[in-house]
Chains A and B, each alone.
Chain A
Amino acid sequence: MNILDVNGLKVFHGHAQALRGVTFHARKGEIVAVLGANGAGKSTLLGALSGIYNAKAGEVVFNGKPINRRTSGYIVKQGLILVPEHRQIFNTLTVQDNLLLGAFHRYNKDKSILYEDMERVLETFPALQGKEQQTAGILSGGLQQMLAIGRGLMANPKLLMLDEPSIGLAPMVVAEIMTALRKLREDGTSIILVEQNAAAAFKVADRAIVIERGQVVISGKPGELVNDERVQQAYLGRTRDQAGTVAMAL
Chain B
Amino acid sequence: MPRESLKYLLIAAASIGFVILPFVLESNYLLSILIIIGIYTLVVEGLGVLMGYAGQVSFGQAAFFGIGAYAVAILTTRYSWGTIPAFLAAIVLPALVAAVIGRPTLKLKEHYLALATLAIGILVHIFFNEGGELTGGPSGLTGIPYLKIGGLVFDQDYKFYYLIGVFVLLVFLGVRNLDRSRIGRSLRAIRDSEVAAEANGINSAALKLKAFVFSAFLAGLGGGIYAYYITFISPAPFNFNMSIQFVIMAVIGGLGTIWGPLLGVSLMVALGEVLRWLVPLFIPNAGGEYQIIFYGLILVLTMIFKPEGLSTGWRKKTVSDSEEQEQKKENLTVSIRR
Partner-B contacts on A (CB < 8 A):
47, 50-52, 71-73, 75-77, 81-84, 86, 88-93, 97, 100-102, 104-105, 107, 135, 137-141, 144, 148, 151-152, 155, 167-168
Q: Which of A50, A91, A100 contacts B199 (CB 8 A)?
A: A50
Q: Type the 1/0 row for B9-48, where 1 means its CB is closer than 8 Å to any CB of A.
A: 0000000000000000000000000000000000000000
Query: Bound state CA distance, A97 and B192, in angstroms?
Result: 13
Asked if residues A90 and B199 are in contact (CB atoms below 8 Å), the reply is: no
Query: Bound state CA distance, A139 and B331, in angstroms?
Result: 8
Query: Bound state CA distance, A174 and B79, in angstroms?
Result: 70
Q: Type the 1/0 row for B294-338, where 1 means its CB is closer than 8 Å to any CB of A.
A: 000000000000000000000000000000100110110011011
Asked if residues A72 and B201 are in contact (CB atoms below 8 Å), the reply is: yes
Q: For B193, give the chain A residue with the smallest CB separation.
A: A88
Partner-A contacts on B (CB < 8 A):
182, 185-186, 188-189, 191-193, 195-203, 256, 324, 327-328, 330-331, 334-335, 337-338
Q: For B331, give the chain A residue with the smallest CB separation.
A: A141
Most B CB within 10 A of own CB, among A47, A84, A140, A148: A84
Q: Is the interface of B mostly helix, strand, loop or mixed?
A: helix
Q: For A51, give the chain B residue with the smallest CB separation.
A: B198
A199 to nearest B CB, angstroms?
A: 19
A52 to nearest B CB, angstroms?
A: 5
B142 to nearest A CB, angstroms?
A: 47
Query: Bound state CA distance, A76 and B198, in angstroms?
Result: 9
Asked if residues A140 and B327 are in contact (CB atoms below 8 Å), the reply is: yes
Q: Which of A101, A139, A151 contacts B186 (CB 8 A)?
A: A101
Tell me the number of A-to-B contacts counted with CB atoms below 8 Å.
97
Asked if residues A89 and B200 are in contact (CB atoms below 8 Å), the reply is: no
Asked if residues B331 and A140 are in contact (CB atoms below 8 Å), the reply is: yes
A180 to nearest B CB, angstroms?
A: 19
Across-interface contacts of A102 in B (CB, < 8 A):
200
Q: Which of B185, B193, B198, B334 contacts A141 (CB 8 A)?
A: B334
Asked if residues B193 and A104 are in contact (CB atoms below 8 Å), the reply is: no
Given A50-B199, A81-B200, A84-B199, 13 more contacts at CB 8 Å? A52-B195, A71-B203, A72-B198, A73-B202, A82-B199, A83-B199, A97-B185, A100-B185, A101-B202, A104-B182, A104-B201, A155-B201, A168-B334
B71 to nearest A CB, angstroms?
A: 35
Asked if residues B182 and A107 are in contact (CB atoms below 8 Å), the reply is: yes
Across-interface contacts of B196 in A (CB, < 8 A):
84, 88-90, 148, 151
Query: Bound state CA distance, A72 and B256, in angstroms?
Result: 27
Across-interface contacts of A144 in B (CB, < 8 A):
331
Asked if residues A104 and B331 are in contact (CB atoms below 8 Å), the reply is: no
Query: Bound state CA distance, A154 and B198, in angstroms?
Result: 15
**A-B pairs with beta carbons under 8 Å apart, 24 shown:** A50-B199, A52-B198, A72-B199, A73-B201, A81-B199, A84-B199, A86-B335, A88-B195, A89-B192, A90-B196, A91-B193, A92-B192, A92-B256, A97-B185, A100-B185, A101-B185, A102-B200, A104-B201, A105-B201, A107-B182, A138-B331, A141-B330, A141-B334, A148-B196
Query: Bound state CA distance, A105 and B203, in angstroms?
Result: 10
Across-interface contacts of B182 in A (CB, < 8 A):
104, 107
Asked if residues B327 and A168 are in contact (CB atoms below 8 Å), the reply is: no
